[in-house]
Structure 1
């Protein structure tokens, strides 16, 4: 195999591969200057590569020190982006009440694809917070491009980013409904995002009101093995598009079971979660993967009466593609600290 070393030659001019590694904090990752539109495009590139099977990405493996938590190792390689690396991410839902810490933390390691040596260690929480709403926005635009209403359950970091990202691709949006069990979280989201978008943000009085007023719906709450069934099956009607980021947690499983199309970002990962017990009522029949829709390989919505559920739990291809662009920009800008190996 003949190696294309142009990319590695560029890297070796910026960092001494095999001798040092670049460390980037969250603030430094944020400061490389990626716009929302650029993040969406990079995420789209990752999804297209996944849809076309131009990647390597084993399903997540993890450890579970407590019943409600997980650590996940997420490696991936996307050749077209020279992006090879692994995210090590943790989710501890009770962190806020126990330690006044966010529930999610993580690091991303980027590697040289030809020698294997680490190039960078960087914060992964911001990357996760950015690529997740980018996936949802891309899926919404592909499955329900003319939607005028969007509903968001969960107003934390993910929910806030979703509300900001969605108008970038859903150009006909007129109203965004939000709901969280914490009133202050809804108020904070509106204070932060409303000045940035032209779409009206409305606080939902309850989940039922949000469901019944929105064509496209998303949830970013907790990931639990036992479904909370907050959204009832009888509230959901034909023609809606549901985009959960929290597996099977927030929605009555009957909704997914009767959906005309059940789409997932990764079949392998959803099957793994099923084996781990996150689908106690069984994993629904899967129509296709999100990347296949984005790449134009599979049809999305075929008529206005279809009920579509698209579960996106996050894939490492998205993380490493975004991480590689952050690394490139950080090296050009002289950000971060070079640590000896």
Structure 2
């Protein structure tokens, strides 16, 4: 990426026109965390504050000569006014001079970078021959994760469990259209007990207590806890042989994991090792902190793609 004295603005439509695929996302995120393992990338402590019934968060990091920050507000009451509850933007700067390079709508990047984080962890912790995947919650994160994991594993079967059956049915129909054998499962235990991979992404602020028990999982199952573990009963974390996180530096202050257990590894650890060297003898889980480094890595890839394709609006500084 070359800086030419202009700020590149990318809307959500611009980002989508860059046609970044699951394999691109996995490679970008994996490269960033591998670089972090050898001090070639860094993350910063996130900031957060409440305002008018919602909150604002900022997170970011440095990778490959560029620093970035994702800044967003989350206001749940917006839904009642027909507006989105989540408004992320990403600013990318050239790290040698601090000059701004790009200002990017972060909605799509936020949706897909989470799945790329999950897939990166799964390449080290899940059975490479995994054929079945279960989803606890069937919203946008389920869709993004199915695309990411479908590109990385030989999946055949999809199990869908959601609080609203119509949502789970809609997701299952989408999975069938993609060629998967998909089933809606009413009971959470039956959804996860035979699955090779489990993705739990229930919005954790809607949960008072976990309803999933890790002892229900197969002995060699992999779980991505996108919901910070809040779908899972705290007492059952002892049933997981290896607990990893994406980024130890990114645990949100006051809004951390639903467990007192300290993760043994993070993505930088896992991706710096050879696949299989650390595979647990039983269940493994990746519990999310929400790394800003992944946002920066994907944003950097998107900007490179946009520049090569002539996409976006150039603004004077």
- Normalised by the length of structure 1, the TM-score is 0.84
Counting only pairs closer than 5 Å after superposition, residues 59-74 of structure 1 correspond to structure 2 as: 59-65=45-51, 69-74=54-59
Counting only pairs closer than 5 Å after superposition, residues 84-233 of structure 1 correspond to structure 2 as: 84-93=67-76, 95-96=78-79, 98-144=80-126, 145-171=128-154, 173-196=155-178, 198-224=179-205, 227-233=208-214
Alignment partner of 1:77 is 2:77: no
1:229 positional shift:
0.7
Alignment partner of 1:318 is 2:294: yes
Distance 1:265 1:225, change over 3 A: farther
Alignment partner of 1:235 is 2:216: yes
The count of corresponding residues between Structure 1 and Structure 2 is: 315
- SS of the equivalent of 1:64 reads strand
Alignment partner of 1:53 is 2:34: no
- SS of the equivalent of 1:108 reads strand
**1:52–1:292 Cα contact (<8 Å) kept:** no
Which of 258, 261, 265 in structure 2 is aligned with 1:284? 261
Distance, in Å, in 2 between the alignment partners of 1:225 and 1:50 is 33
CA distances 1:180-214 after superposition (whole Å, capped 9, x unpaired): 11223223323434323x33222122212212231
Structure 1: give runs of 5+ residues left out of the alignment.
Answer: 1-6
Residue in 1 that maps onto 2:272: 295
**2:66–2:95 Cα contact (<8 Å) kept:** yes
Which of 237, 248, 262 in structure 1 is aligned with 2:243? 262
Alignment partner of 1:334 is 2:315: no
**1:51–1:293 Cα contact (<8 Å) kept:** no
**1:151–1:177 Cα contact (<8 Å) kept:** yes
1:38 positional shift:
1.3
Distance, in Å, in 2 between the alignment partners of 1:225 and 1:203 is 22
1:28 positional shift:
0.4
1:71 positional shift:
2.1
Distance, in Å, in 1 between the alignment partners of 2:47 and 2:224 is 23
RMSD of aligned C-alpha atoms?
2.4
CA distances 1:216-244 after superposition (whole Å, capped 9, x unpaired): 21111213396531213553453322210
1:29 positional shift:
0.5
